[in-house]
Amino acid sequence: MNKKTLFVAFALLTFIAVIVWAKSDNNVSFNLGKAASKWKGIRINEEDLPNAVPTRARVYQIFFAGTGIAVDPNDKLDFKYIRIIGGRVLVPQRNVSEESSNSSDLEVKCANTTAGRERCFTFVRAGLLYLDKDRYTLRNIDFDNDSATASIYQNSTEVGSIALVKVMKMGRRMWVGTLTVGNTNYFAYILGADHPLLIGNTADEKAQERSDEGKKCGPKLPVVNASAIAECKQNGGRIYIGRDDNGCPMAPTCVSANCTAVTPLSAQERAVCRSKGGAVVAGVDEDGCPAAPKCVLASGETG
Amino acid sequence: MKNIIALVALLLISALLFGCTQQKPPSQGQPSGQPQVTAAPVEDVAANALENDVPSSNENLTNLDGMLVNLNS
C-alpha cells in the first residue's frame, strides 16, 4: 500500500469514529452494562403489603439510620453532628398531589385482591437529615444493600447531596461517605442505629465484614453532586455505587434501564379521576424509570 | 496529493460539524412523562412521618456504651 491509500484509510476511520461518537449518548451510558447487572434495589414485596390502605402516612421500611460526625477536611474544627434516617413511607393516595404524581421518589405497588380487583399502595422514598440543629429533607433517594445517595433539600430548595457506603466494623453497621451542603464538602461517618423496620441481614453483614478484613480501600470515598443526581433522575435511572473486586466503593454512576416512554393521562381522564375522589399517581418503577400513570381511589382500587 | 489532502480536510470538517449538531441542546424543562426533580409536597409528608424515628444523641451513647462493654468482656 502506498502512502496515499494509508492516509485516506486513516481519514475515513477518523471520520467514522467521530460520527459514532456524535451519535452516541454523551452521558454515562458507556459503562452501564456491568454496573446495571449488579444493581440490586430494595424491592417492595407483594406479600408484605398491608391489608388496607393507610389513612395517614406511616413508616414502612428503614434503609439507614444513625448518628455521627461530618468533618470539613479543609478545616478539621468545622464539624457537624449528624442525625440521619431514610426509608420508605406508605402514604395515602390523597397526599399525592398533581405536582408530585411524577416524583422520582414515588413508587406505586399494586396487587390483586381476593375479590379479583387491583389494590394499589403509594410509597415514598424519604429521608431526614439534621446537621447540628439544621433540618434537611432527603429526596431522589437511591438505596441498595451497600450504599445510599440522595439530594439534600431545605425548605423545598436543593442545597446539596450525600453519598454513603456501608462498612461493617466490629459487628456494627456504619455509613461512610461524603456530604455537601451549600458550598461546603464534608466527610461523613455515621454509626448505624437499630430500628424495628430496618432492612438488611445481620448475618450476611457479619460475613461480609469477615471477608473484608485486612482489605485496604485507600482514599475512595464516594462523591456525587446534586446536579448529577438531578440529571440522572430527569432521564430515569438510579445512582449506583459499585464495588471493585476488593469490595472497595467505586465512583457513583447513573444506571439507566432504557426506560420506555409512558403515555400521560388526558385532562379528561384526570378530571374523571378527581371526580371519583381519586388521585393520579405514577412515580417511578424499581429501576427508576417513569411508571405509567393510573387513577387510584381512596380505597386503593384503581378507577 | 493536494486533492487528497483537501478531501481529507473536507471529511474531517464535515464530521466535526455533524458532531456539533448532534450534541444535545440545553434542557428546556422536563419532558412529558419524566420524573420531576422539583420539590413535591408528598415528599414532605413522608419526611414528616420519619420525624419521630430520627435517632437521638442519647441512643448513640447507649450504643457506644454497649460496644465498650462488649469489648471489655
**Cell triple for residue A125?**
422514598
Strands A184-192 and A58-72, bridge-based pairing = antiparallel
Between CA A184 and CA A191, with CA A189 as vertex, the angle to 5 degrees is 145
- Cβ–Cβ under 8 Å, residues B16 and A18: yes
pLDDT digits (tens, 9 = 90+) for A140-167: 999 988 899 999 999 889 999 999 999 8
First to last CA, chain A: 72
Which of the listed ranges A92-106, A123-137, B55-69 does the model predict with the highest average pLDDT?
A: A123-137
Q: Dihedral (C-alpha) B62, B64, B70, B72: value to the nearest 10 degrees?
A: -120
Q: How far B34 CA sits from the closest chain A CA (Å)?
A: 6
First to last CA, chain B: 86
pLDDT digits (tens, 9 = 90+) for A259-270: 888 888 899 999
Q: How far apart are CA B13 and CA A291, in angstroms?
A: 42
pLDDT digits (tens, 9 = 90+) for A186-214: 999 999 999 999 987 776 777 777 667 66
Query: Cβ separation of A124 and B42 shorter than 8 Å?
Result: yes
Query: Cβ separation of A85 and B48 shorter than 8 Å?
Result: no
Statement: residue B30 has pLDDT above 80: no
Q: What is the pTM of this model?
A: 0.74
Query: Cβ separation of B64 and A191 shorter than 8 Å?
Result: yes
Strands A238-240 and A106-112, bridge-based pairing = unpaired
Average pLDDT, chain A: 84
DSSP codes joined into one string, A125-138: EEEEEEETTEEEEE
A103 vs B15, B23, B42: nearest CB? B42
A233 vs B18, B35, B45: nearest CB? B35
Query: Using a CB-CB distance cutoff of 8 angstroms, which residues of chain B are in contact with residue A262?
Result: 33
Which ipTM was obtained for this model? 0.78
Query: Cβ separation of A195 and B67 shorter than 8 Å?
Result: no
- Report the candidate in A296, A273, A50, A118 with the shortest Cα–Cα distance to residue B42: A296
pLDDT digits (tens, 9 = 90+) for A282-302: 999 888 889 999 999 988 888
- Cβ–Cβ under 8 Å, residues A291 and A263: no
Statement: residue B68 has pLDDT above 60: no
Query: Cβ separation of A156 and B54 shorter than 8 Å?
Result: no
Q: How far B9 CA sits from the closest chain A CA (Å)?
A: 9
Is residue B16 within 8 angstroms of chain A, CB to CB?
yes
**What phi, psi does A19 have (nearest 5°)?**
-60, -45
Give residues 22 to 51 of B whose Cβ lies within 8 Å of A. Answer: 22-24, 27, 30, 32-51
